[in-house]
Homo-oligomer: A and B are copies of this chain.
Amino acid sequence: LAPPHIILRRALIEGRQLPNIARDIGLFMARTLFRGSDLHMPTKDRKADLALFADNVELCGITEDLVFTDPYFDAKLNRHTSPQLDGLVAELRADRDLKVEAQRLKHLFAANAETLLHGDLHSGSIMVTDTETRMIDPEFAFYGPIAFDVGMLLANFWMSFFSQRGHEDKGRRDAMRAYLLGVTNETWAVFRAEFSVLWRSERTGMLYQRSLFEDQGDILAAEQALDHVLHQIWTDLLGFAGIEVHRRILGLAHNADFETIADEDVRASCEAKALKFGRHIAVNRRQIYSIDEVNS
């Protein structure tokens, strides 16, 4: 894309408060993820398409190992801010609950072909102006759980939040931090609202069919099922988000949000907070019920 579009990650590092990203990204995720699943698409079309993407195993393999496994042991390609984080990193790599949870999430990610994902939906895969938001880099696209795209995206907003402390050389970033928490909140709210609209208007696939619910006059049953589905997405996205934070600080592929912080002590301090946050939301994800709990 030609200028004035810039990479969202870059804009957030510069402290720009883009007014439309939460709404645009929330709508994008709800629409693509809902419509690519058996909630909307004829299942034979989804399965035929899934077979086409099944040979994207090399890129999937990258995600699977780099994201879910390598950060949690002393893998060859790993790096982290050292020696400042050495103690915390050793602690996380000895953290049984965390490692088991990371593998359960890998299991879910690898086995669950619920919808066609973007597959690499972080703030470096989004280009923005003040009025436009465009998703790029779909080469990791494949079938996986709805919660994966949403979790990775929110994780990148949370990492931006934790990295702001390292970008205060030209002034405090309190307003930017508040903006970023607002963005996570609004993105999730827009996603849920749009997903609910589609649930009520475009639920034409083989799952949760109207013949069982609305057609029998039981609209509340369909709403109860929607609550379950959204709660499952929420629980799983927290796990994927926590693991995404970890792999960006402990693994091979780091984020410019932290990497551009020149002072290594400041960077390590930002990263340590993010690592602990990631551990909390991944391990305790079944006991966290709202994004307000996460953001407070």
Contacts and interface: CB of A to CB of B under 8 A. Distances in A.
A94 B211 CA distance: 12
Nearest to A45: B57
Q: Is chain A's binding surface mostly helix, strand, loop or mixed?
A: helix
B107 A73 contact: no
A271 interface: no
A123 to B, nearest CB: 27
Given A51-B55, A69-B212, A111-B114, A207 B44 contact: no
- Say how many copies of this protein the assembly contains: 2
B54 A50 contact: yes
A107 B207 contact: yes
A208 B54 contact: no
28 contacts: A38-B107, A38-B111, A43-B60, A43-B110, A47-B54, A47-B55, A47-B57, A47-B60, A50-B51, A50-B54, A65-B206, A75-B211, A94-B216, A96-B220, A96-B224, A99-B212, A99-B213, A99-B221, A102-B212, A103-B207, A103-B209, A103-B225, A104-B225, A106-B207, A107-B207, A107-B229, A111-B112, A111-B114
